[in-house]
Structure 1
Amino acid sequence: MPESEQQYEFSVFCGEFVDDDVMVTICIYRPTGTNGDWMLEVVDQEGYSTIWDDRFATDRDAFEEFLATVKRDGIRSFLEQSIHTVH
């Protein structure tokens, strides 16, 4: 199926996250109708994305990875960067 036709199931952990006066949007998703691993993407206020290369067994694992990244690197680590991936 072409990627443009792919539909996704979104986690309950998706949404806006604010820390240190910075807001990002967390997207945790997988292809609809699968039991596949979850993908994690964080979008900053300018629309730039950070996408993890790794996939997560559960949506909670993905969310916990996001929180660990914020704790380790700070929320500002997601700002004004071109699309990039995290390993």
Structure 2
Amino acid sequence: MTNDDPEIEVSPLSGMVTHDGVTVDVQIYRIAGSGDGWFLDVVSTDGASTVWDDPFPTDEAAHAEFNRALKEEGILAIIAGDQPTVH
């Protein structure tokens, strides 16, 4: 039996962030060994997930985009589950 699931590399910039009393899990990851870029996924404590459509060239760029969205849009806009969010 073989395991066809790719190995995932998680950025050290990933982690829990609390802003305005709301906590989210910022997940920055890529397929290990690939040059496909880093993905950004923000998950609320109730399991709602916002994933950016396009990968970032570096994990630092993904983290910077999260910080930009946090500052400009706010944490509630990032995790809004009842309306589509496209980044």
- Match in the other structure for 2:34: 34
Could you say which residue in structure 2 is the equivalent of 1:47?
47
User: Is there any run of 5+ residues in structure 1 with no aligned partner, and where?
Assistant: none
Q: Residues of 2 paired with 1:11 and 1:43: CA distance?
A: 15
Larger RCO (alpha carbons 8 Å, 6+ apart): 1
Distance 1:74 1:85 in 2: 12
Q: Which whole-Å CA distance do the structure 2 matches of 1:79 and 1:57 have between them?
A: 23
1:9 corresponding residue in structure 2? 9
- Report the TM-score, using the length of structure 2 for normalisation: 0.85
Question: TM-score by structure 1 length?
Answer: 0.85
Q: 1:27-57: per-residue Cα shift (whole Å, max 9, x none)?
A: 0011012232101000011011000012100
Pairs within 5 Å for 1:8-87: 8-79=8-79, 81=81, 86-87=86-87
CA distance in 1, matches of 2:55, 2:80: 24
Root-mean-square deviation (Å) = 2.0
Mapped partners of 2:29, 2:79: distance in 1: 21
Q: Which runs of 4+ in 1 moved over 3 A?
A: none
Identity %: 39
Aligned residues: 84
Alpha-carbon shift at residue 73 of structure 1 (Å): 0.7
